[in-house]
Amino acid sequence: MLAGSNYLDLAGDARVIAAAQEASASAGCAAGGSRLINGNLCLHEALEQELASFVGAEAALIFSTGYMANLGVITTLAGPDDVIISDALNHASIIDACRLSRASTRVFRHNDPEDLERIAAGCAGFRRRVLVLDGVYSMDGDVASLREMAPIARAHDMVTVLDDAHGLGILGPSGRGVASLESVAVDVQIGNLGKALGSFGAYVTCSHTLRELFINRARSLIFTCGLAPGPLGAARAALAILESEGWRRVALLERAEQLRAGLKASGYDTGRSTTHIVPAIIGDNQAVMSLCERALELGVHAQGIRYPSVPEGSARIRFTPMCSHSVEDVEHVVKLFSQLPH
């Protein structure tokens, strides 16, 4: 399996499963309503405190999915009198949130601080300026250039929002994510419980003031059921394991680098990847899907990705290893793909 996001192989960990079972047995299989009515559980607030402490933020807020977290945060922070400055390769949920906000949206070239500066210089007349970035770009595997972009954001009085769905638990000191890796503070960090933490749901870390604002203004939080007890229990257990078993993060990044180097040596273009997301860029849609299907027949699931998930003409196989893959597993995958027509 090289097509999932269970990066630290915690989704099937016996301790995580037991924690999900215990939470469900204690609090039931559903929150039973919106968090603003009757669905706010002690489990939500306990996980929020633990996530805020882990990331190093004042506060955290649990959303039901990552998509809903991005919609809630961005539409709360920006409206018709505001401007959102968005990276060209931001996730689809960010793009949709920008549209729903009714704010003016300006897109800058991917990870290009000079283009960000150019666009920021023309946004002085708006009530509020919001910079939105992915931490790890999910189709390319590169990292946001926060060290260069954060000073630009501060100089132009921007609120900085970082969607670090793929960075939490893996990158930076102790797996605290891309902002920690880049030694940069952001105003809002959005993360996912369904990737490195092997559970389901999402979170936002921010100040106490922003948390209160999101609770009272984020429609994707207000008008939906709270996250169920089972995933909350699972995420709490996974977070504790993540903090105590750093070998998982180290092993994942080592296997990713082995895979990237092997694919390059076999003639594949791995693009800008520096993380645990490793693309093999082919270009042609049909060629990519034929390669994907042939590999699956031979026992390797590495998914073909086409437009609109990636720009036209940049179709690719997207590899996402896990920490539990062995050196021999990766050697096998590289050998297989080196022998397949590409």
Q: Which of 328, 337, 267 is closest to 300 using CA atoms? A: 337
- Which of the following is catalytic: 91, 166, 276, 325? 166
Q: What angle do CA 28, 32, 37 make, to 5 degrees?
A: 140
Is 208 among the residues known to form the active site?
A: no
Q: What is the DSSP letter of 173?
A: G
Residues in CB range of 123: below 8 A, 6 or more apart: 83, 85, 106, 129, 156
Closest residue by Cα to residue 60 from 223, 227, 281 = 227
**335 assigned to active site:** no
Task: Please give the single-letter amino acid code of residue 129.
Answer: R
Q: Cβ–Cβ contacts within 10 Å for residue 52, how many? A: 20
Q: Is 138 a catalytic residue?
A: yes
- Kindly report the backbone phi and psi dihedral angles of residue 194, in degrees, each rounded to the nearest multiple of 5, phi listed first: -100, 10
β-sheet bridge partners, residue 191: 203
Helix (H) or strand (E) holding 62: strand 59-63
Q: Which of 64, 86, 138, 314 is catalytic?
A: 138
* Residue in 44, 156, 195, 325 annotated catalytic: 195
What is the set of active-site residues? 138, 166, 195
